[in-house]
Structure 1
Amino acid sequence: MKAGRLVSILLLLQTRGRMTAAQLAEELEVSVRTVYRDVEALGAAGVPLYGDAGHAGGYRLLDGYRTRLTGLTAAEAEALFLAGAPGPAAELGLGPVLAAAQLKVRAALPAELRGHADRISGRFHLDTPGWYADGEEVPYLPAVAEAVWNSRALDVVYRRWREPTDVRRRLEPYGLVSKAGRWYVVAGPGPRTFRVDQILELTTVEEEFARPEDFDLAAYWTAYQRDFHDRLYRGEAVVRLAPGVTLPRAVPERTDSRGWTVARVPVESVEHAHGAFLRLGTGIEVLQPPELRERMARTVAELAERYGNAASASGD
């Protein structure tokens, strides 16, 4: 445990530069006293580690000191190669860069960990887009990525779902997110979220913007998804489900004498619920709202008439 902690301190200082004992303790989830002891152990082992007093003080490594020690465990080596998503990297124009980086990491690993990495690559493959995705072309993705990296504003023509559909926008791109095979750019002012494949025209503005220092892309995306689902499922339906039939987000209320479950289900709209519930066939009965129940009844009646006529025709 201590050996792993010493490696972590060494790597933290190597990658982040100067850090206080309190910062190291918070990062490693140990006491400040434990950090003091660990730092003394590193110094005794010959690591050129220095401590500066004062408000801007902290621990740092001698300038230019680097260690080849990775400190990777078998599980960490496996996770590293599993996380190297080749699809998104290739879309960003970084496919060869990712391959070269993985090759260098693999070459630096001990033989045992190299075997773990090879095994994970040979047994797991990440393919993020859904089966029915169209695989939209995203011609402006590399340009957006470059603007994100260099904090350059963009002048774009963007296609949205409501009128007027094609609008011109000035974007200050804070970050890119790949979700289910589709790329989104989070951009200010706002910030707001835009689909990269809906950008029709793009010009990079020779103007550098200031990205908010407190902006957290991962935190924003988590909140954005939560808000999206809250806005999406504003309606509600009451249904009766046959034994063994389930629906996502359904809240069971009671079970009747036949073993059917009465449940409340959040729905996006009558149209969306109509299509989703039809897939369950005779395993579902809509009780509320009345307009959805009537819509289902009309569809079932039309199907019965159509297939009834077909059965009669085949009998003749």
Structure 2
Amino acid sequence: MRASRLVSLLLLLQNRGRMTAADLAAELEVSVRTIYRDVESLAASGVPVYGEPGHEGGYALVDGYRTRLTGLTAHEAEALFLAGLPGPAAELGLGSVLTAAELKLEAALPHELRRQARRVRERFHLDAPGWYREADDVPHLPAVAAAVWQRHAVHVRYRRWYAPEIVERRLEPRGIVLKGGRWYVVAHAGGPEPRVYRISQIQELRSLDEEFTVPADFDLAGYWQAHARRLQDRLWQGRAEIRISPAGVERLREAAAQAVIDAVDAGEEERPGGWRRALIPIESTTHAEGELLRLGPQVEVLSPPELRARITTAARALAELYGR
């Protein structure tokens, strides 16, 4: 907090000129005695601040002096170092740029503020991909990022999950999103609304000498949130009633979607034994079969009948296989 206050005091003198100790104390919500100590600390660190006595006196900076860190507080400096995200920046082709910017920022910080900012780099690290899953291979990410930045169209060969698998598209990339270690581009491809493309599925990319204009009302964050909600709404196609043991609940928390976990938590606990009855959302009968079989005897499917039948068939096949 003191480092932040010293920067604020320095900026007040820089932006407003001469100020009395009482005015500074009122502005920073500290005592006048604290202002005296802070001014001494600034002077000791090399800031050319001086005081003038008398009714028209006060503290001021030597004419012409300006800090190189205009407007930056201690918490803001820490946040900038925390938000550096060296991994994603490197994938975007901005790794060296980010390093140079951080070095310049660090050089501009006062000593005490610099020490606080360094702690962030020492104590926090972002690893975006989920467990047990490799991050996407995205060789075309820098080119997509350049197209987003420069507002020029690209021609791509894109692999999708349904037939025909390989398609060609002219895209107008509007923005890039990193979600769970996977890169996506929101792009207009000629339809009424932009669509989302996974950048790792771009097989070939060619930049076009064609500029485009993004509508003034387009909001990337807002679009992505709406897109995520639409995906979530389409994801759950049905429900299944289950009984699940306490051990099953713990294993479920490690891998299941949050909607499934929430549904189990809202279920009714049986006594004795601690098993729970819950009505959970499912994507499909096939998908639910695979997910619930992972829990083995820690879960029992009560309905729908077709899902219970599939689990029963799979269990009998396993018993026969291992019974040999």
Indicate the TM-score class for this superposition, using the shorter chain for normalisation.
0.7 to 0.9
Deviation of the 1:79 alpha carbon:
2.1
Question: Using the alignment, how far apart are the partners of 2:67 and 2:114 within structure 1?
Answer: 19
- Relative to the length of structure 1, the TM-score reads 0.74
| Corresponding residue of 2:278 | 263
Residue type matched to 1:280 in 2? L
Contact 1:249 1:266 in 2 (8 A): no
Specify the alignment match of 2:242 in structure 1.
239
CA distance 1:223–1:4, shift in 2 (3 Å): farther
Q: Which residue of 1 aligns with 2:310?
A: 295
* One of 233, 242, 256 as aligned partner of 1:230: 233
> What is the identity, as a one-letter code, of the residue corresponding to 1:180?
G
Measure, in 2, the Cα distance between the counterparts of 1:306 and 1:123: 50
Task: Give the Å deviation of 1:256.
Answer: 2.9
Residue 173 of structure 1 corresponds to which residue in structure 2? 173
Contact conserved, 2:156 with 2:205, CA < 8 A, in 1?
yes
The answer for the alignment partner of 1:214 in structure 2 is: 217
Q: Could you list the per-position Cα deviations for residues 153-181 of structure 1 after superposition, in whole angstroms to 9, with x for gaps in the alignment?
A: 11111111111111111111101111122
Amino acid at match of 1:87: G
Partner SS, residue 249 of structure 1: helix
| Structure 1 position 281, deviation (Å) | 2.2
Structure 1 residues not aligned, in runs of 5+: 12-44, 48-65, 310-316
Query: Residue 129 of structure 2 aligns to which amino acid in structure 1?
Result: P
RMSD: 2.9
- Which residue is equivalent to 1:34? none
The 2-side partners of 1:4 and 1:235 are apart by: 56
In structure 2, the residue matched to 1:114 is: 114
Q: Following TM superposition, by how much is the alpha carbon of 1:207 offset from its aligned partner in structure 2, in angstroms?
A: 1.1
C-alpha contact (below 8 Å) 2:106/2:114 kept by paired residues: yes
The structure 1 residue matched to 2:263, chosen from 245, 250, 272, is 250
CA contact (8 A) 2:241 2:302 kept: yes
Query: Is the Cα contact below 8 Å between 1:160 and 1:166 reproduced in 2?
Result: yes
Letter in 1 for 2:109: L
C-alpha distance 121-141 of structure 1, shift in aligned 2 (>3 A):
same
TM-score using structure 2 length = 0.72
Identity of aligned residues (%): 56
The whole-number CA distance in structure 2 between the counterparts of 1:269 and 1:219 is 29
Partner of 1:193: 196
1:104 aligns with 2:117: no
